[in-house]
Chain A
């Protein structure tokens, strides 16, 4: 295990590395076969025989929608901010809340349709992302982290104190989406699951295209060295704001879909711990690597559901698992290989802990110290 976080060595016999090598050279038709297989897999996933193992104690399709699907959608969105652009956001739940509240408010008070409010939710989340980002994105690292954390709390407390949007009691009778392709959105969780799978697929394509575009390269440059990126002519502020707004849009989208199924939302549906959980999903999976992030979100959402029989000890064990996982694999389950190649210490622009100096028995940290 030692040194996993800092070496970019490839192991020709390691199944993950072999799969990646194969993927890198795979021709178009093979890749499309994999995409197709992934979609078929997602469609048959709610099957009861899978559910009986995966979630014996609660309805599997419901669990697939929330938390699993919702967490994956949120994690893909947060990955753009944290994994790609390298900004630490501790208040991502704010955008989730704004999307949810927009849908609930305009759906109940003004009777607008699901699709209209969905678009409004996304736009409002993006606008609030820009409003938060414009004054604060000049801050770096942990200053940004505390400001975003504060923003998440401001949104929650404001919702709690504003009677127009239900105050602490929240909003009830949030309308369901209109029927689509013959699917009725009522109490059955399956249509909502397909809706969120469609949203996830869309967001993944969007995220991958962005990652491979000029925008994605600009984000990578900012993440690795903001000053160097600025000197090379990357308008860093503009691109950081863009990452923030896009992340916020995906958060808003997730919030709107969540609220349409939930029927009832209240300020406490959006606690700080949800921001922390999504961030944990991104880091646990391997920030910046999309399959890793999806795996991380799945694990984080699914474990507490699978171990529901542990009842009230779930959160206790969840905390312990986070500590343990980070001690064993600080780089995440499926770290980004490209990132390791880009920067040999692979810190994703966040830097390592200070006060770490190689002792006589830790030769593997010498690379980072030498590179300062």
Chain B
């Protein structure tokens, strides 16, 4: 069921955790059972006179009781620490492998995990899996404790032992059945209701200006309250399921104790021992209850992770060195390497889509060939060897300015970074920052303005040294003077490097970089 089984070192740690859990479980049962035996024996000896008291060996049991208390504590500590250690190491490994798998996809066909919802779900699924690994030693340790309790009870005769064995054997399937019947449906309903509620909220949030303009917030809140009722109902049902399983466990413990005591034979101390061992053994089975209750919500996450783990790896590692430029064919026009073309047309007609198709990010809707091959049939690797994109929204990674520039290609020197920042008219801004190139840019903006983010993204594209540079609205948000400087420096850079240019711009100044224009409306759509 687990699509990512732990590796050998984690399995070893988990075995150690299991040993600790078993020690804790056995110590827990023995502590209570031995205490019961000791008390009853002491009472009988105390009532039988001084000779019996002298004959009663009280030192070993009383020392054992104190020792068991320490053993139980140590065992639990070891179990918790080792199982968390195994889970954390396994999950670090899983995150790495999962990321590697996702990274090796072709962007045009990869699962879209960019939305907040999808990535939050991915994190949640990984955490659920971590929880599963932490709980893994619990169940076999419970079984060991159960067997031990049955062996202890056997001291009081086979009938009591058989009864306890049957009761304990029936408990895990009973718990699983109860948990499944009570939680499977509410867990699915809660997940659906949560999704529906979130969708509704995002829909309403898109209408925020109207809600404010007409003062409709109370009405919208009423509508959301109606939509959240199924969620509340499902979550209440889940809480009821928790309660039923906990109640079942509590009642079962007393039933087992009473039954074992009724069937126990022999001396009173042994019967007391059997009674308390039986009560403690049911308590030790709580691990089954917890696992059973979480099963329903964990299964869906496991299935999603399994789908991701089965994705084929399509992307080959990027080769070093620079490839020779290939011609681009756009609407029957062949653009040789080094050509500088502006794509024109009104908003919403697919200029960005065209550029991104050439960059290998999305499937094209217009006919466009690279080196004589239609773009949709070019392998992703061929596209990225030819083109370097500065996209419309800057697409920066969380990290420092240098982290972002280093993405462009391996082995970029600091001097190269400064040169690229200068071409992008960002050199003075970065020089003025407290940590220079190592200044962190916060994930959602932060220290850089929108225009600065775009120019950083431009510097990154320059550093990639690809035969074609793809620019989407490079000067948006710039004042006229900076825009003029940017255009002049870009022209120098293009002249020096002989790089080809495909440009989309709403503003007039950058269009001067292009030697020809292609109207997107003239291209047939596919």
A, B bound: no
User: Contact residues of A with B, CB < 8 Å?
Assistant: none
